Amino acid sequence: MSSDTNDARQPSPVVLQTRGLSKEFRGFRAVSDVDLTVAAGTVHALVGPNGAGKTTLFNLLTGFLEPSSGQILFQGRDITGMQPEQIAHLGVARSFQITSLFDQMSLLEHLELALASPTGLGYRFWQSSKRLGRFRERAMELLEQVGLADRAGQDAGSLAYGQKRALELALALALDPTVLLLDEPTAGMGLEDVDRTIALVKKVSSGRTVVFVDHNMHVVGSLADTVTVLQSGQVLAEGTYEQVRADQRVITAYLGQAG
């Protein structure tokens, strides 16, 4: 919080916060003493070279990994040690860096399943699966948003890579989360899809908080209110895109790589 690139205009309350968060894999610190503060309603980028610990941090925030030490607060509430499904229900949804779908299910079935999750319909083994049809309209809207409406009936396994990324995004959006965590949402996408994704994230970010990881500086520059740079599991710098880009340590550590 007392980082040297502290933003003076920071009136919005904190929605997500970590305190001294660390994760060790057999002695190797993938995430090391991270104090991250995400202001409500902002779009927050997490950048850093491969292996910096970005995905691990996402896994900690969403309960897929248990921290070795430290604390995670969501809306002031301690969610450290909670299970992924509990955190999802509280309003923190994520997409996966490595596309993670149900290959034999249609796109529509994916979204119906995501939309049904908070309702408890999934426990009803005595009812027809046609009951899931009540989510169809909303499911089609979401597919429309990510540009996949014409493929609604197709199996996810048959999608091209960039389309799978778009479906990942739609699934996370279906949970209507307070905080949306996107792990490399545009990786492997063509230019056109990247621009559509930027526009979409801009649109859905109103009324919620977005934290995303991306290597594409065009995406980071277009979307991020705040950028946090990670290196070797530690926070190296934080600020606006312009501030971070001008930071000498960042240039040597990360942006310098790209020339």
Ligand X SMILES: Nc1ncnc2c1ncn2[C@@H]1O[C@H](COP(=O)(O)OP(=O)(O)O)[C@@H](O)[C@H]1O
Binding-site ranges for Mg ion (CB under 5 A): 54-55, 97
Q: Report in angstroms how near the CB of residue 57 gets to ligand X at its nearest.
A: 7
Instruction: Determine the Cα–Cα distance for residues 226 and 42; give it in Å rounded to an integer.
Output: 8
**Cα 73 to the center of its chain, rounded Å:** 16
Binders of another protein among residues 148 to 177 (CB under 8 A) are 157, 171, 175
Q: Report in angstroms how near the CB of residue 12 gets to another protein at its nearest.
A: 26
Which CB atom, from 133 or from 256, has the smaller least distance to ligand X? 256
Which CB atom, from 48 or from 67, has the smaller least distance to ligand X? 48
Per-residue 3-state assignment (H helix, E strand, C coil) for 210-246 = EEEECCCHHHHHHHCCEEEEEECCEEEEEECHHHHHH
Contacts of 240 (CB under 8 A, 6+ apart): 7, 224, 225, 226, 227
Distances in whole angstroms, Cα of residue 190 to Cα of each of 131, 146, 150, 204: 37, 14, 19, 21
Which CB atom, from 51 or from 122, has the smaller least distance to Mg ion? 51
Locate 217 and state its tokens. Answer: 């500086």
Q: Report in angstroms how near the CB of residue 87 gets to another protein at its nearest.
A: 9
Interface pattern 10-29 for ligand X (x via CB under 6 A): ---------------x----
Q: Report in angstroms how near the CB of residue 54 gets to ligand X at its nearest.
A: 3
Which CB atom, from 56 or from 95, has the smaller least distance to ligand X? 56
List the single partner that 123 binds among Mg ion, ligand X, another protein, none, CB under 5 to 8 Å by kind: another protein
Binders of ligand X among residues 31 to 70 (CB under 6 A) are 48, 50-56
Whole-angstrom distance between the N-terminal and C-terminal Cα of the chain? 30
Question: Does an H or E element contain 209, and which?
Answer: strand 209-213
Q: Count CB atoms within 10 A of the CB of residue 209.
A: 24
- Residues at the contact surface with another protein, assessed by CB under 8 A: 62, 64, 83-85, 88-89, 93-94, 96, 100-105, 109, 113-114, 116-118, 121-129, 131-132, 157, 171, 175
